[in-house]
């Protein structure tokens, strides 16, 4: 899955709608200090479901909403859409018929937030599953920020294993195993409770 386009409205310094097309090959974003280069990377990571305000260089998630300038009033909502092409067919089978996949995240000042997949409301989990094992995703190796190469080189083998598992395509199965184990545990607890009730009734 390749990022084709990014659309931003009301996110950090991008008050008006900005569209960035990513061509094949390497894209470099250049500009003077403070012009918003890192905000573009933050927007990509946020749309992919980043949950930590700190990882987006803020104190609370509300900090991603444009908070006004000398000439513009603060915005009530931030919205970022990422458009991927699915020509390599790496997206899950449910998306096989789509040549393009659009992931959208919105956050209102009220705290209300929304995720959309191809303009249809969805859960954060659906977004996470879409990216698993594709090498994209908020924690995957598609975003190598300052300091990450050093982190990878200095990481312990267990930490580095995460990147290898993502590339090998086992992340999805590990996540599903974790969910299944949680369900088995809950069912075990229910069976225990049921056993107690049965013995009380008898």
The 8-class DSSP code of residue 75 comes to P
User: Contact between 67 and ligand ATP (CB under 6 A)?
Assistant: yes
Helix H segments across the chain?
37-47, 124-131, 148-154, 157-168, 171-201
User: Contact between 45 and ligand ATP (CB under 6 A)?
Assistant: no
The 8-class DSSP code of residue 110 comes to T
Nearest distance in Å: CB 41, ligand ATP: 8
Check the annotation: does 36 bind a ligand: yes
Q: Which residues, 6+ apart, have CB-to-CB distance to 96 below 8 Å?
A: 86, 89
| Identity of the residue, 78 or 136, whose beta carbon is nearer to ligand ATP in the bound complex | 78
User: Contact between 46 and ligand ATP (CB under 6 A)?
Assistant: no
| Identity of the residue, 62 or 85, whose beta carbon is nearer to ligand ATP in the bound complex | 62
| Identity of the residue, 31 or 150, whose beta carbon is nearer to ligand ATP in the bound complex | 31
User: Of 25, 26, 34, 60, which one interacts with ligand ATP (CB under 6 A)?
Assistant: 34
Nearest distance in Å: CB 87, ligand ATP: 30
Two tokens, residue 30: 């250049």
Nearest distance in Å: CB 45, ligand ATP: 12
User: Contact between 55 and ligand ATP (CB under 6 A)?
Assistant: no
Of 31-39, 95-103, 164-172, 187-195, which segment contacts ligand ATP by CB under 6 A? 31-39
| Identity of the residue, 14 or 95, whose beta carbon is nearer to ligand ATP in the bound complex | 14
List the strands of the sheet with 113-117, edge to edge.
18-21, 2-9, 77-85, 100-108, 113-117, 120-122
# of chain residues touching ligand ATP (CB under 6 A): 14
**Selection from 92, 135, 100 nearest residue 119 by Cα:** 100
145 close to 41: Cβ distance less than 8 angstroms: yes
Radius of gyration of the chain (CA): 21
State the Cα–Cα distance between residues 198 and 34, nearest whole angstrom.
67
Q: Which residues are annotated as a binding site for ATP?
A: 32-39
Q: Which residues are annotated as a binding site?
A: 32-39
**Interacting residues toward ligand ATP by CB under 6 A:** 12-13, 31, 33-39, 63, 65-67
């Amino acid at each position: 899955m390749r990022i084709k386009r990014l659309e931003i409205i009301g996110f950090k310094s991008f008050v008006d709608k900005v569209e960035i097309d990513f061509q094949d090959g390497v894209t470099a974003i250049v500009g003077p200090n403070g012009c918003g280069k890192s905000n573009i990377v933050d927007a990509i990571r946020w749309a992919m479901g980043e949950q930590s305000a700190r990882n987006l260089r803020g104190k609370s998630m509300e900090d991603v909403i444009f908070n006004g300038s000398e000439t513009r009033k603060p915005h009530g909502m931030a919205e970022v859409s990422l458009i991927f092409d699915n020509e390599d067919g790496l997206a899950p089978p449910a998306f096989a018929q789509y040549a393009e996949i659009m992931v959208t995240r919105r956050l209102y000042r009220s705290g209300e937030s929304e995720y959309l997949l191809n303009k249809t409301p969805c859960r954060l989990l659906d977004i996470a599953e879409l990216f698993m094992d594709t090498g994209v995703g908020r924690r995957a190796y598609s975003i190598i920020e300052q300091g990450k190469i050093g982190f990878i080189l200095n990481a312990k083998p267990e930490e580095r294993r995460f990147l290898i598992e993502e590339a090998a395509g086992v992340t999805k199965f590990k996540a599903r195993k974790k969910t299944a184990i949680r369900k088995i545990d809950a069912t075990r607890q229910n069976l225990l409770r049921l056993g107690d009730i049965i013995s009380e009734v008898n």
